[in-house]
Amino acid sequence: MGWCDDPLSKDYNKLIKIPSEYNYEKLYKKDNVYDIILVLNFNMNPVVKNKGSAIFIHVAKKNYKKTEGCVAIKKNDMMVLLKLINKKTKIKIY
């Protein structure tokens, strides 16, 4: 699976099957940071081309290296978060 980040695609900022003729981000990483991802409702309704795509909460790298627009947290913290939220939960990021 992948997440389309190509503004030329009708599937911009959406989950897609890969490979694709358009640019995308693979939802598989060897460092396991995408083992669990939460899709944030950023630029989703409506989708605005070039406003941003693939904005997730995901597992942080061991060295907490910065992300490219996502929020990364420790895997243990992710597991706690998953127990606390549901489809109606609103997460605010400051």
**pLDDT tens-digit profile of 32-83?**
999 999 999 999 999 999 999 999 999 999 888 888 889 999 999 999 999 9
Asked if 7 contacts 50 with a C-beta cutoff of 8 angstroms, the reply is: yes
The pLDDT, as a whole number, for residue 62 is: 87
CA distance 13 to 45: 10
CB atoms inside a 10 Å sphere around CB 8: 10
Q: Kindly report the pTM of this predicted structure.
A: 0.87
pLDDT-derived band at 4, boundaries 50, 70, 90: very high
| Segment 8-26, tens digit of pLDDT | 999 999 999 999 999 999 9
Higher per-residue confidence, 73 vs 92: 73
